[in-house]
């Protein structure tokens, strides 16, 4: 059983969004085409409360893309994005969301960010996705979406470490590439046994 995991294809990560990833809109049609080839489709959705601790605006004298030490480790401080119930948090309007078996919302704990579809950024608190995949008998995952060097990367590495066979379709991802983050992400994914294609 093989699932397609579509990471954070939301308005705020696409053209004109609060944390737009260059070319984010360009992958949506290809993702829609891919959906029919899999036994299951799972969408993830960044779903932050207003004032989330990962927002630069929540910290005095901090700017977007500054780094800050949190109790769970280093954290990039982001522009406010994907706030629950806003248009920015909604899926891209062209994404065929009705074809999804499951939507996993993440990042809703105000005290901790959650890049991975499997764990919050403490690398311990699960989202519940692993259990769902196991009960469905899914062993193989293909990941697409936004952004390749953050949420796709973390999700792929966690999936591989959990024992899934993981492929990232890089043609249907786009990256932020913050201070070399793309090269670091590629190294982390291949080091974890993820296939990049």
User: Which residues participate in catalysis according to the annotation?
Assistant: 8, 106, 151
CA 150 – CA 146 distance, rounded (Å): 8
State the residue for tokens 């036994």.
39
Closest C-alpha among 196, 141, 153 to residue 178: 153
Please enumerate in sequence order all residues whose Cβ is within 8 A of that of 105, keeping only pairs 6 or more positions apart, or say none.
44, 45, 46, 47
CA 155 – CA 72 distance, rounded (Å): 17
Q: At what angle do helices 153-161 and 181-191 cross, to 10 degrees?
A: 10
DSSP string, 113-158: ---SSSB-TTS-SB-SHHHHHHHHT--EEEEEEE-IIIIIHHHHHH
């Amino acid at each position: 059983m093989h699932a397609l995991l579509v990471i954070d294809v939301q308005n705020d990560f696409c053209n004109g969004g609060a944390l737009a990833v260059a070319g984010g809109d360009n992958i949506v049609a290809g993702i829609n085409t891919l959906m029919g080839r899999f036994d299951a489709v799972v969408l993830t959705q960044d779903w932050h409360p207003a004032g989330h601790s990962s927002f630069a605006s929540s910290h005095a004298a901090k700017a977007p893309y500054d780094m800050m030490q949190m109790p769970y480790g280093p954290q990039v401080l982001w522009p406010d994005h994907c706030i629950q119930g806003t248009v920015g948090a909604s899926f891209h309007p062209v994404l065929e969301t009705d074809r999804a078996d499951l939507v996993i919302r993440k990042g809703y704990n105000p005290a901790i960010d959650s890049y991975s579809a499997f764990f919050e950024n403490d690398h311990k608190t699960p989202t519940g996705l692993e259990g769902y995949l196991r009960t469905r008998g899914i062993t193989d995952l293909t990941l697409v979406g936004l952004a390749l060097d953050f949420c796709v990367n973390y999700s792929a590495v966690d999936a591989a470490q959990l024992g899934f066979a993981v492929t990232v379709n890089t043609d249907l991802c786009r990256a932020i590439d913050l201070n070399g983050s793309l090269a670091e992400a590629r190294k982390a994914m291949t080091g974890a046994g993820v296939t990049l294609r």
